[in-house]
Chain A
């Protein structure tokens, strides 16, 4: 039973980790939080859904298009909500992303209908059993995909020139500009990548839960912000760790409290960490 919870936890944690990293990238470059992250997740899920339903029913293609959908909307979001509002009080950008979140969610509800749409699972059956726990092929596919994406992102950020630019901008964007880095383009890129991460998480969630619906991103968005704070909003490994830990804790926590209350666990962690250790598990010290 415990092993089963652990496996389920890691699977869900993969989704949280991808979303948490989306928050961490945006927070890293701009010290701002993108409230519409949950909506980018939904956008990704819809992109994947339409590709699978109307074009080609392939898991990887769905993931690819989910990433593209998130990338494009993330790019637009940055242009409107952040580029235009740079230098204005942070609260303005924050409210603007809330506006985007409401707008995107409700637009999806109006365009595609409020009812949940069925997404195929692609992988069925149990892959292997370990200690009384059944691990399904789908769970393996999810965990592996998330791991590959996260490792790829790490390589991109720590081994490429564009990744170096993002890291530099996140340290100090004025100095980065003086060093000849195109700050605007770097921020744009960081945002789009953050959007792509959320989009990939959305497709994975759609496949895992077999459902695509307009408000699917609301709770995961909130929870994975908790996960990002938990692990450390200023640290990319921290956000990943927070995501996986939240998934695991949630699945074990359900054993203690009734399932109706499982969604509260993330918020309890959020409030506790904000109060006692705002930098999270691995983050660097920041001024709260």
Chain B
């Protein structure tokens, strides 16, 4: 019997779901071994950048996916981490290994500050405040020339060393792999802990969560701070990997890209955020000829995912599902929308 591509895909994903440990092990071994066989500087660089995207998307997923809050300023915390680490290294000669945690702490500090100030507000207002904070961060970086060198950016950020050996492309990649594993492990542990359950409860029904004795505000601030710390960590790595940073790397379009990754993969699912980050991280490399349309396509992806497939690729029953109504196929939803647009009724 001929099996269609769709069936095979379903079979594969089904097998992966049935054997999570084995598939994860296979994936890990592949990720560790491939650079030994394909020694290609470009691939290593792309893979390292994808790792960065995975950390950023996974951290934002804690805010949007787990807790149902909304942050449009994630790039700002990423930037704060990058600048902290870069300034410490270039001005005070602080090594990467101290700059990395310092970046996380400083980004987390600002995250906590913003969180304490705004997390009592409704999602819409939180969204605008974080977007505003992102703009403020960018403007301060551009204007505080004596401290951040303004539009010139910071160049010559030192390459990290370990036991006296300077990082090469391999070491950057493997360190990124370790970082991703640690971050995802931590998020996985958190998701399945008391904290994770509290966050999900808040997302599902804030009032009910509060009446069950969950400290809603406290957990929201905690989740927001943790996510910002992870973004700061990514920023520090980015600074020492790219070795040049400027405000251009942390504009609000970067925040939107991270949101697109989370939404595309599946909001609220750890695997979803990773999937989205990998796809959109590879996308500009694979589709070079579409380079100038990149942002246009991101916008389209965001619109279509939300309207047509709210669960994302992973298909999680996430934040965007309609409260009632059964599962519908992709084309059925398209049809509904088209007829709604022409008839003028609600879909």
A interface residues (Cβ-Cβ under 8 A, vs B)? 32-33, 35, 79-81, 83-92, 94-96, 98-107, 109-110, 184-185, 188, 218-219, 222, 225-226, 229, 258, 260-261, 263-264, 266-267, 270-271, 274-275, 278, 287-288
- Tell me whether B319 is interfacial, beta carbon within 8 Å: yes
Q: A33-B128, A260-B142 are in contact. List 12 more A-B contacts (CB 8 A).
A: A80-B341, A91-B123, A92-B310, A96-B303, A102-B296, A103-B302, A106-B295, A107-B296, A184-B345, A219-B135, A261-B143, A267-B132
Are B320's CB and A226's CB within 8 A?
A: no
Q: How many residues of chain B have a CB within 8 Å of chain A?
A: 56
Q: Which of B140, B303, B346 contacts A184 (CB 8 A)?
A: B346
- Tell me whether B125 is interfacial, beta carbon within 8 Å: yes
Count how many pairs of residues, one from A and one from B, have CB atoms less than 8 Å apart in the complex: 159
Residues of chain A within 8 A of B347, CB atoms compared: 83-84, 86
Q: Count chain A CB atoms within 10 A of each CB in B123, B133, B296, B301 and give the residue with the most.
A: B296
Per-residue A-contact encoding for B126-141, CB less than 8 Å = 1, 0 else: 0111011101100110
- Please report the C-alpha to C-alpha distance between residue A94 and residue B256 in the assembled complex, in whole angstroms: 12
Closest 7 CB pairs of A and B: A103-B299, A99-B302, A260-B143, A106-B295, A102-B299, A267-B132, A99-B303
Residues of chain A within 8 A of B263, CB atoms compared: 95
Are B299's CB and A100's CB within 8 A?
A: yes
- Please report the C-alpha to C-alpha distance between residue A109 and residue B253 in the assembled complex, in whole angstroms: 14
Q: Count chain B CB atoms within 10 A of each CB in A89, A222, A260 and give the residue with the most.
A: A89
* Chain A: minimal CB distance from B178 (Å): 32
Closest to B203 in A: A89
* Chain B: minimal CB distance from A273 (Å): 10
Which residues of chain B from 282 to 303 have a CB within 8 Å of any chain A CB?
A: 292-296, 298-303
Are B136's CB and A267's CB within 8 A?
A: yes
Are A102's CB and B295's CB within 8 A?
A: yes
- Tell me whether B252 is interfacial, beta carbon within 8 Å: yes
Residues of chain B within 8 A of A263, CB atoms compared: 135, 139
* Chain B: minimal CB distance from A258 (Å): 7
Q: Which of A98, A188, A229, A264 contacts B259 (CB 8 A)?
A: A98
Give the contact stretch, choosing among B12-20, B36-44, B114-122, B191-199: B114-122
20 contacts between A and B (CB under 8 A): A32-B124, A33-B127, A33-B128, A83-B340, A84-B347, A86-B346, A91-B70, A94-B70, A96-B306, A99-B302, A99-B306, A100-B299, A103-B302, A106-B299, A107-B296, A110-B292, A184-B346, A222-B128, A264-B136, A288-B125
Residues of chain A within 8 A of B293, CB atoms compared: 106, 110
B interface residues (Cβ-Cβ under 8 A, vs A)? 64, 68, 70, 72, 117-118, 120-125, 127-129, 131-133, 135-136, 139-140, 142-143, 252-253, 256, 259-260, 263, 292-296, 298-303, 306-307, 310, 319-323, 337, 340-341, 344-347
Residues of chain A within 8 A of B256, CB atoms compared: 98, 102
Are A222's CB and B131's CB within 8 A?
A: yes
- Please report the C-alpha to C-alpha distance between residue A100 and residue B301 in the assembled complex, in whole angstroms: 10
Residues of chain A within 8 A of B340, CB atoms compared: 79, 83-84
Residues of chain A within 8 A of B346, CB atoms compared: 83, 86-87, 184
* Chain A: minimal CB distance from B74 (Å): 13
Q: Which of A90, A107, A260, A270 contacts B128 (CB 8 A)?
A: A270
On whether A104 and B299 interact (CB within 8 A), knowing A91-B70, A92-B310, A261-B139, the answer reads yes
Are A274's CB and B118's CB within 8 A?
A: yes
Q: Which of B117, B139, B299 contacts A99 (CB 8 A)?
A: B299
* Chain B: minimal CB distance from A138 (Å): 27
* Chain B: minimal CB distance from A114 (Å): 9
Residues of chain B within 8 A of A107, CB atoms compared: 296, 299
Residues of chain B within 8 A of A267, CB atoms compared: 132-133, 135-136
* Chain A: minimal CB distance from B40 (Å): 31
On whether A80 and B123 interact (CB within 8 A), knowing A91-B70, A99-B299, A260-B142, the answer reads no
* Chain B: minimal CB distance from A110 (Å): 6
